[in-house]
Amino acid sequence: MPPRPYVLNEANYRQLLDDRPTLAVLPWGATEAHNYHLPHGTDVIQITHMAEEAGRLAHEQGGKVVILPTVPFGNDAAQLDGQVATIHLGTAAALAILRDVALSLTKQEIDRLLILNGHGANSFRPMIRDVQLEFGMLVVLVDMWELAPEVKGETFENDGDHADEFETSLMMHLAPDLVEFDQAGPGTRVPWGIEVLDRPGVFTPRPWVEIHPDTGSGDPSKATAAKGQAWLSAATAAAAELMVGLSRAKKGDLPYM
Ligand SMILES: [Zn+2]
């Protein structure tokens, strides 16, 4: 396989000089326990696959994109209790990474950045506001699991937000050898002791292992590789459209000022 010019890990200087990207894509994952049956790298595997596959589709459609290496750590401040080697990247460190990526790109005349987020506890919005103000670049965020909502709604039966039917299906499609399906716990949730926390609009982090004893949130038992493939292909196509649209934007097209 020759080097893919849209994947920075593989692209050489010649390729990038000959066809300069206008949009950089930064996939951002997390390294954390995912019930008993999925690897700690689940979010990294998923978001890297989606970024590179969407990059391929965007490249075929004439988009000038480059996919940066995936940031492997995410915000796991609430997931260090009772776990073994989950890694937490705090907000100050995440902002420092994002800021230096933005500094590096704008120095080399890439003034558009798409963050492809693969982990629910990563919150980028205030950081994006700060980075845009400082560097004047267009920074766009997409949370992976929000893509292709119709396909998601008609494909998956059980709700959840971590190592659930959705994530297990993706991994059965992407990395079946890493899924120990018969080891999966039920992904149950222990209810809050402070009942008012259930009211709409109220948020506090879940102390993870107290609330989700097997670390999963959602019943994975109905997961299949076919479900994972169905959603992933729709979501990846949507991500590719976003990349093409951003890479073609011109100064003056709002909000790219
Ligand atoms: Zn995950």
pLDDT at 257: 79
Question: How many A from CA of 29 to the centre of ligand 1?
Answer: 8
* Cα-to-centroid distance, 145 and ligand 1 (Å): 10
Q: Closest Cα partner for 174 from 226, 217, 98?
A: 226
Between CA 11 and CA 235 the distance in angstroms is 25
**Ligand 1 centroid – CA 3 distance (Å):** 29
Q: What is the pLDDT along the chain (257 residues), one digit of tens a residue?
A: 999 999 999 999 999 999 999 999 999 999 999 999 999 999 999 999 999 999 999 999 999 999 999 999 999 999 998 899 999 999 999 999 999 999 999 999 999 999 999 999 999 999 999 999 999 999 999 999 999 999 999 999 999 999 999 999 999 999 999 999 999 999 999 999 999 999 999 999 999 999 999 999 999 999 999 999 999 999 999 999 999 999 999 999 999 87
Report the alpha-carbon distance of residue 234 to residue 129 in Å, rounded.
Answer: 29
Sheet holding 112-117, edge to edge: 65-67, 23-28, 112-117, 138-143
Q: How far apart are CA 243 and CA 7, in angstroms?
A: 14
How many Å lie between the centroid of ligand 1 and the Cα of residue 163?
A: 6
* pLDDT value of residue 21: 98
Q: How far is the CA of 245 from the centre of ligand 1 (A)?
A: 27
Specify the CATH number of the domain 13-248. Answer: 3.40.50.10310
**Cα–Cα dist 27/46, whole Å:** 10
Each domain of the chain, given as residue ranges in start order, spans 13-248
> How far does residue 44's CA lie from ligand 1's centre (Å)?
8
Q: How far is the CA of 211 from the centre of ligand 1 (A)?
A: 16
Q: Which amino acid type is present at position 194?
A: I
CA of 143 to the centre of ligand 1 (A): 12
Distance 78 CA to ligand 1 centre (A): 14
Centroid of ligand 1 to alpha carbon of 34 (angstroms): 7
Q: How far is the CA of 14 from the centre of ligand 1 (A)?
A: 36
